Amino acid sequence: MTWAQIVPLIFMGLLGFALFIYVVLDGFDLGVGMLMHRANTEERNIMVASIGPFWDANETWLVLGIGILLVAFPKANSIILGNLYLPVAFMLIGLILRGVAFDFRVKARAQHQLAWNYAFIFGSSVASATQGWMLGRYVTGFAEGWQFTMFTCAIALAVPATYTLLGACWLLIKTEGELQSKAMLWAKIAWLPVVIGMIMISLATPWVSSVVRDRWFALPQFIGLLPIPLSTGAALIALRWALNMQRIRKDLCWLPFVLLVGSLLMGALGLAYSLYPYAIIGQMTVWEAASSTAALNVILIGAIVAIPAIFTYTIFAFWVFRGKVRELTYG
């Protein structure tokens, strides 16, 4: 392959990387937000403190992904955002509501704090559901019809369930005592809907997309791809088994989160294989959607500087604020 053919693939890889990191990082804090309705006032404060140092920076990866889509794949960007205008608007409303509620819930008068807590919960739920809807619409290539709508609705429910499980696993790492016990129970409750959702979506995706069906069920590709669903299933089963271990409340508190991230990584690899070489499945390839090679060369220089800087800052933040959460305070 020539450099002109390779550089669009580099940017598609960077786009996928940024969005996967966003799903994991902002996924757990959206999940924590959605779980707050199950907690009391003191526990809600601890839950917010567990994501306080991270949630704003986590959304940087979403901005990075949208930025790459805009500058590296402008033709695809116009089609994608044109079809997703309303869900993107609702997602932004949800994220803005979360940001406002995050600060106001602590500084508001006592009689108003509950309302801001529910605003945080509502904003987290709206952002999660709209992200699932957008993923469903994108995977179907924005096709119209009842079967595509049903598929999109299923993903709009599966994504919040997955975020909820991520949030519960995160709380296992960051909390202690009664709240950690509740987080373990929440993770067990969320596990089954996530597994059912993944199975149903895996079965439905080839049905709604002939491109995906042809990619996955042709021989010998089918045999070579078996490790992806098998490893995903093994990680999810191991996660459920781990939730029954007492050591999860101590030195192995990180294990459920890592297992879930591993299953999501396998799902992301399967999705990447299903989509390649399309920027919009069945409509536009990566090379058709990309900017000129000269433009991509210039953008790549910026990406080489920006992405490692964001990644380094992310690792630094998680290192500095490692360990069990302390009470959240405001100056």
* CA distances in angstroms from 49 to 45, 53, 103, 274, 327, listed in the order given: 6, 8, 12, 39, 6
Residue 237 is assigned to a structural domain of this protein: no
Average pLDDT over residues 81-96: 93
Is the confidence at residue 77, as pLDDT, over 60?
yes
If you average pLDDT over every residue of the chain, what do you get? 90
Residue 311 is assigned to a structural domain of this protein: yes
DSSP annotation of 246 reads G
Q: To which residue do tokens 């990566």 refer?
A: 286
**Angle 55-267-237 (CA atoms, 0-180°, nearest 5)?**
95
Residue 278 is assigned to a structural domain of this protein: no
pLDDT tens-digit map of 92-144: 999 999 989 988 887 777 777 888 999 999 999 999 999 999 999 998 889 88
Q: What is the pLDDT of residue 327?
A: 62
Q: What is the pLDDT of residue 113?
A: 82
Q: What is the pLDDT of residue 329?
A: 55
216 confidence band (pLDDT: 50, 70, 90): confident
Is the confidence at residue 238, as pLDDT, over 90?
yes
Total structural domains within the chain:
1
Q: What is the pLDDT of residue 126?
A: 96
319 vs 311: CA distance, rounded Å: 12
Is the confidence at residue 331, as pLDDT, over 80?
no
**Which residues are registered as beta bridge partners of 278?**
285
Average pLDDT over residues 288-296: 94
The answer to whether the beta carbons of residues 169 and 260 sit under 8 Å apart is: yes
Q: What is the pLDDT of residue 22?
A: 95
Q: What is the pLDDT of residue 124?
A: 95
Average pLDDT over residues 193-210: 84
Q: What is the pLDDT of residue 282?
A: 81
pLDDT tens-digit map of 182-199: 999 999 999 999 999 888
Is the confidence at residue 217, as pLDDT, over 90?
no
| Other residues' Cβ atoms within 10 Å of the Cβ of residue 163 | 31
Amino acid in the structure at residue 229: P
Query: Which CATH number characterizes residue 119's domain?
Result: 1.20.1630
**Which residues are registered as beta bridge partners of 280?**
284
Range picked from 56-60, 271-275, 278-282, 309-313 for highest mean pLDDT: 309-313
Is the confidence at residue 328, as pLDDT, over 60?
no
Answer with the residue of higher pLDDT: 35 or 205: 35
Give the predicted TM-score (pTM) of the model.
0.93
Expressed as residue numbers, the domain containing 183 is: 7-204+286-320
Q: What is the pLDDT of residue 192?
A: 94
State the distance between the two ends of the chain, measured CA to CA, in whole angstroms: 56
> Phi, psi at residue 278, to the nearest 5°?
-90, 140
Q: Which of 52-56, 181-185, 234-238 has the lowest mean pLDDT?
A: 52-56
Q: What is the pLDDT of residue 57?
A: 84
Average pLDDT over residues 286-293: 94
Residue 106 is assigned to a structural domain of this protein: yes
Is the confidence at residue 330, as pLDDT, over 70?
no
Q: What is the pLDDT of residue 89?
A: 95
32 vs 58: CA distance, rounded Å: 14
Residue 195 is assigned to a structural domain of this protein: yes
What sign results for the dihedral spanned by CA atoms 230, 233, 238, 241?
negative
* DSSP string over 59-79: THHHHHHHHHHHHH-HHHHHH
Residue 220 is assigned to a structural domain of this protein: no
Average pLDDT over residues 235-239: 96
Average pLDDT over residues 216-234: 86
Residue 198 is assigned to a structural domain of this protein: yes
Residue 326 is assigned to a structural domain of this protein: no
